[in-house]
Structure 1
Amino acid sequence: MNSEVLIRVSDHPLAQLKGYDAKAIAKYYIRRPWQVIWRTLSIVFMFAGFLLGLLWDRAAGKSDRHQPERAAHLREIITKLGPTYIKVGQALSTRPDLVREDYLAELTKLQDRLPPFPTPQAFSIIERELGKPADKIYKSISAEPVAAASLGQVFKATLYTGEDVAIKVQRPDLLPVITLDLFILRVIAKLLAPLLPLNMGVGLDAIVDEFGIKLFEEIDYVNEAHNAERFANYFKDDPKVKAPKIYWDYSTRYVLTMEWIHGIKLTDVESIKAAGLDTDELVRIGVLAGLRQLLEFGFFHADPHPGNLFATYDGSMAYIDFGMMDQLEESTKETLVDSVVHLINRDYEQLGQDYVKLGFLAANTNMIPIVKALEVVLGDIMTEKVGDFNFKVVTDRFSSVMYEYPFRLPAKFALIIRSVVTQEGVALSLNPNFKIVQVAYPYVARRLLTDESTNLRDRLIEVLFKEGKFQWSRLENLLAIAKSDGQFDLMPTAQIGLQYLFTEDGKFLRRRLLLALTEDDRLHTAELQRLWQLVRADLEPGKLWNAAVGTLSASLPKAVTAILPIALLPGANPGS
């Protein structure tokens, strides 16, 4: 019977699609209206029952007493509706600031505690895909799945070579359910778009399409395996961020064998603390990893819910699911950095232009009222109130602006926003008092001060100069912010800066800095004194000496460079 089910599903007409195709899916279901009507009625009926239950509890004054039952009922509905709705529930399960605690506890179960499909059926898929029975491939394999998620389930096994591995086996009936739900959601999106109060509703079907593209990528385990290796390569120099090794000999589109990660789920805060791990450090690792993905690599994890993240026993963080990833274009990465620079500068006119480049505003939009609104919403972000901000506060403020002005949500940014919000939700689950900007701002400041790329160097100069005048306070703020989390080493930054100043490209900046010291017909000794007080603890004599030698070595001809370290030694005698 199992083999018949597998054959029937694999012969589904839409199984031939190599990726998400909205037109092909629509063409298929338009000819099968009874399937669409029945599925729609089922969805409406399930949620109607839930809402009626809530109204009845409120009328009877029993809302608090029945809340746990209603939360469990909602989870059961989402589970029955399948992978598309489970993905939404997983996203909500990461937001303790948005969802009541009792509902949150139930939604968290959607991350990896879903009903599994029969083990014999899973083993049949393994045999079909790998060409051998499971016991011929794996020395041992768990009799039951250790986790079941929306798209598949996981078995723990040991290879004959001795490595512990995780085997992901895809659910056999995914395609018909996913394509039908995506078709219905797309129809609803088109119908609702004109009725929504925000211009986010424009192109709402494009957001569904973006979700569909990622969902199709996620059910291709070969694609996931490539994503995992690419992610690991980006973080190869960071021992605090890990990704599992892929075993290609035992992996196909429907079966994925990868390294077993020994660790603790980020949802299990008590076990994390019992293992002696620092939750605040894990938060910092997670946020920095997310920022690097968006602003450095442009390749980011779009589904970083706690079921996909583990704290390892050595204090690092491991990602285990790479099905839903996305890639940012270089121009988008640069514009995101630009927006941070313009926010630091409080240059709201340029920030508005950044939103145009990113697609949040049309090119012909009247920017004057929007610039004023941005100043009201974001005006105090770079003040002492920074510690009071989190991403939700900013988005809540922004919602009023988006309601009043012609903002729209580009499809690409639906995933970016989901990723950032989910990351912050994970951080809040580990530390409810955490503020994402406490890590994000020092990271951005450090990148501006230390990155050797031409683009970021130009952005740093843009921060430090306004209308031709050097902004001493901005340099002080950048240094203070960069130093605020203890991860910033001033000496490499000073050496990079000095080396650049001695180059031909740095000639223009040298001249501007010299002028800055005497701007407004006075020596800026007070500003220099404040900077010295800020950095003097970091400028040890030995480090200063090495930086000077390194800078001159990089700037002078090779013949001179060869003898420079000896010649500069105190008391050196060239004739000896």
Structure 2
Amino acid sequence: MRGPHNIWRLIRTGATLERTGAMNAVLDAFEAPKPVRLLARTLAIPFKPLGYKGDPKQPAATRALVALGPAYIKFGQILSTRPDVVGPDMALQLRVLQDKLPPFDIETAKAEVARELGQPVDTIFSEFSEPVAAASIAQVHRARLADTGEDVAVKVLRPGIEKAFRKDVDAFYLAARMVELFSPGSRRLRPMDVIEHFDGVVRGELDLRLESAAASEYAANTENDPGFELPAVKWDHSARRVMTLGWAEGIQIGDNDALDAAGHDRIELSERILALFLQHALRDGYFHGDMHQGNLKVAANGNIIALDFGIMGHIDEYTRRVYAEILYGFIRRDYQRVAEVHFEAGYVPADKNVDEFARALRAVGEPIFGMDASRISMGRLLAYLFEVTERFGMETRTELILLQRTMVVVEGVARSLNPQMNIWQVAAPIVTDYITKSIGPKAVISDLTRTARVLSRFGPRLPALVEAALIRQAETPEPAARPFKRWLMLSAVVGAGVASLLIALLDAIF
């Protein structure tokens, strides 16, 4: 399905932007240079009548993205959290994409729930409301469990959403392939890998059983985090296309007037949101990957409530350490160390000059640190860093795409609460604490302990492995190498024994 016929989908995208009047707004929001504007208009205007009309009651940008489909809506959701990128007017227009899209009818939702859960809706729920929120992939109903009387949220996938997303993603694959074909310089960005990553995320979001599992794991990781809570999954009433959670009562983040009226401290909330995201990403390596305003509420007690766990990010411990060291280096303005980390991790080709790279990084960091708090932006830092790494041949790191994107989204949410927030002041103690724990002497001992445990598991198998190796060696003798091989095998046996002793010692100490 990724063939040339998807060219039509891309042409219609430009035509829809033109027909809905969103083309100029989009070009202005991204400050597109004149050549790009001329090319976009030249390609779009002839096909304008073929673009989707959309809902004329909606603002132009929202109208275009809703008409184009769910993948485009997802893109708009991200932009809605970045008023510093697209401007406050555009961000406000796009915010309705988060949870205020047109819903599908309640009878269709009930039929879907009954089919998935294998029981009539009236048997499971004593009450089942009209949709209370509708987003690009699913909508939510408030209901009450018949057996316990507990209020719950029932999430139901949109009918035919899988097919709709498949069409959008197929067009994105074609676009990425065309970029690689006609712009060889872009291949280092690995556009196909980027789309494959997005495709995988979307596929996971379209199976609510996976989302239920993600919510459960996330809750286990964060149960001791003060000021943060998650609704509990109701496993007996969840399936592939239906997910039931405890009802979360609270004020939507983004409704600043309501937050102020309720007496919540928006400055403290902005700092807590950013701090929680960094803690989850660095401490757990498992973080909410879609933390826009539509997925966050503030409870009456001031706790931040996270919702919608379809997109969760995971990064391994090694990558977390690399990312933390890069942030730590920028915070300390140690550009030489930031450059060395890029080289040590293999992010920048080894044939480049580390000192030149460090000087280029200084040109990125110093102007940002010279700005006032309201203009210091992680998004701006990532944009500048992207430009520098492009010059030095760094390839796109697909494992960091979601982390970087979510960092930008979270910053946008935090700034919507407190435009004067200084992200470096909030990030510094969290990153410093993680660096201390993950790279200090105790972390080295912890790494050695885990390594020793892995080695010790081979202990019972080593005699048989050594015997088999000796038999093979006897059958095909190599006199010159035989003493070395025997020494190597003996070292393996001794190493396994030492590993076992080391584990016992370390467990006794710690």
Equivalent position SS for 1:157: strand
| Higher mean C-alpha displacement, 37-46 vs 315-324 | 37-46
How far off is 1:379 after superposition? 4.7
2:361 pairs with 1:391: no
1:353 counterpart = 2:340: yes
Q: Give the aligned residue type for 1:117.
A: F
- 2:99–2:135 contact (8 Å) kept in structure 1: yes
User: What is the aligned partner in structure 1 of residue 141 from structure 2?
Assistant: 155
Q: Provide, for residues 121-162 of structure 1, a one-character-per-residue CA deviation record: whole Å limited to 9, x for no partner.
A: 1111001001112111011110x2011010011000011202
**Residue equivalent to 1:89:** 76
Instruction: Answer yes or no: is 1:178 the counterpart of 2:148.
Output: no
Cross-structure match for 1:442: 429
Is the aligned partner of 1:47 residue 2:17?
yes
Q: What code does the residue aligned with 1:45 have?
A: A
Q: Is the 8 A contact 2:374 2:419 kept in 1?
A: no
Report if the CA contact (8 A) 1:170-1:254 is conserved.
yes
Aligned residues of 2:324 and 2:434 also touching (Cα < 8 A): no
Question: Where does residue 388 of structure 2 map in the other structure?
Answer: 401
How far apart in 1 are the matches of 2:419 and 2:270?
Answer: 11
Residue type of the alignment partner of 2:278: L
Structure with max Cα Rg? 1
Q: Deviations over 1:86-128 (max 9, x none)?
A: 1100000001111222222210000000111122111110010
CA distance in structure 1 between the aligned counterparts of 2:187 and 2:8, rounded to whole angstroms: 29
What is the TM-score when the length of structure 2 is the normalising length? 0.75
Aligned to 1:124: 111
Q: Which residue of 2 aligns with 1:326?
A: 313
Name the CA shift for 1:242/1:359 in 2 (closer, same or farther; >3 Å). farther
Indicate yes or no: 2:279 matched with 1:277.
no
Matched, 1:365 2:365: no
Partner of 2:43: none
Amino acid at match of 2:137: L
Deviations 1:514-565 (A, max 9, x none): xxxxxxxxxxxxxxxxxxxxxxxxxxxxxxxxxxxxxxxxxxx99xxxxxxx
Corresponding position: 1:169 with 2:139: no
1:459-482 residue CA offsets vs partner (Å, 9 max, x unmatched):
xxxxxxxxxxxxxxxxxxxxxxxx
Alpha carbon RMSD of aligned pairs, Å? 3.1
Identity %: 32
Q: Is the 8 A contact 1:199 1:406 kept in 2?
A: no
Secondary structure at the counterpart of residue 428 of structure 1: helix
Cα separation, 2, equivalents of 1:53 and 1:416: 29
Name whichever of 392-401 and 413-422 sits farther off: 392-401
Given that 2:271 and 2:426 are in contact with CA atoms closer than 8 Å, whether structure 1 keeps it comes out as yes
Q: For residues 435 and 381 of structure 2, what CA distance do their matches in structure 1 show?
A: 23
Match of residue 530 from structure 1 = none
Distance of aligned partners of 1:382 and 1:456 in 2 relative to their CA distance in 1, 3 Å threshold: farther
Please list the CA deviations of residues 382-422 of structure 1 after superposition, one character each: whole Å capped at 9, or x if unmatched. 89978863213323433542453323321122211110000
**2:152 and 2:247 in contact (8 A); partners too:** yes
* Equivalent residue letter for 2:17: F
Matched, 1:218 2:205: yes
User: In the alignment, what sits opposite 2:403?
Assistant: 416
CA drift of 1:82 comes to 1.5
Aligned residues: 419
Looking at structure 2, the residues matched to 426 and 358 of structure 1 have their Cα atoms a distance apart, in angstroms, of 31
- Which sections of structure 2, spanning at least 5 residues, go unmatched? 29-55, 446-507
Alignment correspondent of 1:313: 300
Q: Which residue of 1 aligns with 2:217?
A: 230
Change (3 A) 1:363 1:122: farther
Q: 8 Å contact 1:198–1:407 — kept in the other structure?
A: no
Report the alpha carbon displacement of residue 241 of structure 1 after superposing the two structures with TM. Answer: 1.0
User: Does 2:285 align with 1:298?
Assistant: yes
Conserved? CA contact 2:364–2:385, under 8 Å: yes
Kindly tell me: are residues 350 and 438 of structure 1, through their superposed partners in 2, closer, same or farther at Cα, counting changes over 3 Å?
A: closer
The structural deviation recorded for 1:449 is 5.5
Q: Deviations over 1:234-274 (max 9, x none)?
A: 11112311111000110001000001101011011110111
Q: Contact 2:282–2:434 at 8 Å: present in 1 too?
A: no
Supply the distance in 1 between the matched residues of 2:272 and 2:327 (Cα, whole angstroms): 21
Deviating more after overlay: 296-305 vs 36-45: 36-45
Secondary structure at the counterpart of residue 97 of structure 2:
coil
Give me the whole-angstrom Cα distance separating, in 2, the residues matched to 1:85 and 1:245. 30
The match for 1:208 is: 195
Shift of 1:333: 1.1
